[in-house]
Amino acid sequence: MSLILELDATGPRIAGEQAERPAPTPAKPANAGHGDVRKKIVPVVKPPAGPSATAWEGGVYLSMQQWRDGAEQGGAILLQPADDVRALADRLDSAALIAVDFHRIGDGRGYSHAFMLRERLNYRGRLRALGAVTADQLFALARVGFDSFALRADQSAETALAALNTFSVPYQGAPVAGANAAREEANFNARIRLLERALTAIAADATRPALASSLSAEDMVITDAIARLKLPIDVFTLDTGRLHAETLALIPEIKSRYGLDIDVHRPDENAVSAYISAHGADGFYEGLAQRKLCCTIRKVAPLNRALEGRSAWITGQRRDQAATRGALEEAERDEVRGMGKFNPLAAWSWGDVLAYAARFDVPMNALYARGYVSIGCEPCTKAVRPGEDPRNGRWWWENKDSKECGLHTNATVTR
């Protein structure tokens, strides 16, 4: 017992000393099998020779019987696996510490001890696991109520601290048995963790990954997650030359809020001039071909330049944004550009986006407050009524099936 971790309101901390640990010998994976093991099975489990520890920081541990015979103010009890902890009811007020002895990893009685102490006896003081306590048990131990861990001598503090964060949401209790609101809250927390996990994996696996941000609420959510996790993922936006002032105002706001410099890509000036001479500045109202050409010059071509040299790009697309996005996958292959394409918010609802923005105080385009839902270039975007299809606010003079600018081609396949 050389390293003690404790959980406090501020989080876990190392409360004891680190011992020298023996250098590890790499294991030989037993891919050859164990052969015939029948004769090696010893059914009888040897009882422990005695308690795994005798003293704590403040003195000597008392057994449950000793404690019952005469509790000292500020003393500590060491419970053994076979003890019936209910015998301590109403006798715990003066305890400074209760420790539970784990003689073997596989002896799970101590977990029930902790449950009984916390739930039945309402013990609120320090509860320590000691003995055969390894990093890999820590998460479950903490969940049943332990807040102090005397690690086995060969355990590393780093691994143990990391193990405390193994799982983000529990199955038991309200998320399984309770009302839909409890499950939905757990689901919202899970969606945030899934987003963080997806971004972390992209940052680790891809070459120069980038978020293609339209400065929409969805893209601001992803930008916030990238900034919070300090991930090496670039964020760029396409200034088409026709964006709302409210949209462009987010660029300096992201800089001041997150310290992130967004790369701004602009359309080729010659192509824009040629378009204006041929079709007029607002020629996109005249037909689908003219509109798509404008999108190509002002958005698609700059996007293609922005994606050069990258092996993955990230978007804020969601399935319920548009009829064209119903089958959207979280991980796709962009065959046209020959790279990975990730839509980590695919399963999110608009409500999830707003809830995330509220929880993390994410800067939002001021147009949302004025009834805009899906925001693109100024001439091609308008507000929609509450409950109206959000996509009605984009290219409203066109057929529903054509309402994509061309950034998100159908030529993507599910991985």
Catalytic residue positions? 405
CB burial of 212-231 (b: ≥16 within 10 Å; e: otherwise) equals bbbbbbbbbbbbbbbbeeeb
| Least distance in angstroms from the C-beta of 83 to other proteins | 10
- For other proteins, the closer of residues 188 and 285 by Cβ is 188
* Strand pairing class (148-151; 3-8): antiparallel
- For other proteins, the closer of residues 9 and 42 by Cβ is 42
| Least distance in angstroms from the C-beta of 33 to other proteins | 4
Q: What is the DSSP letter of 366?
A: G
- For other proteins, the closer of residues 34 and 230 by Cβ is 34
CA torsion, ordered 397, 399, 403, 405, to nearest 10 deg:
-70
CB 346 within 8 A of CB 329: yes
- For other proteins, the closer of residues 107 and 378 by Cβ is 107
Please provide the size of the chain in residues.
415
Strand partners, 127: 98
| Least distance in angstroms from the C-beta of 254 to other proteins | 27
- For other proteins, the closer of residues 42 and 245 by Cβ is 42
CB 141 within 8 A of CB 111: yes
CB atoms within 10 A of CB 286: 12
- For other proteins, the closer of residues 185 and 378 by Cβ is 185
Token look-up 């040629």 returns 274
| Least distance in angstroms from the C-beta of 46 to other proteins | 9
CB 125 within 8 A of CB 117: no
- For other proteins, the closer of residues 25 and 270 by Cβ is 25
CB within 8 Å of 252: residues ≥ 6 apart = none
Token look-up 């996109």 returns 284
* Strands annotated E in 317-385: 331-334, 339-342
What are the strands of the beta sheet with 234-238, ordered from one edge?
263-265, 234-238, 210-213, 312-314, 339-342, 331-334, 412-414
Token look-up 């010893």 returns 42
| Least distance in angstroms from the C-beta of 414 to other proteins | 11
* Strand pairing class (76-79; 59-62): parallel
Q: Which of 138, 177, 180, 182 is nearest to 156 (CA)?
A: 138
| Least distance in angstroms from the C-beta of 233 to other proteins | 20
| Least distance in angstroms from the C-beta of 247 to other proteins | 30
Residues contributing to the site for other proteins (CB under 8 A)? 24-27, 29-38, 41, 43-45, 47, 81, 105-109, 111-112, 114-115, 120, 134, 136, 139-141, 143-144, 154, 156, 159, 162, 166-180, 183, 186-188, 190-191, 193-194, 197, 347
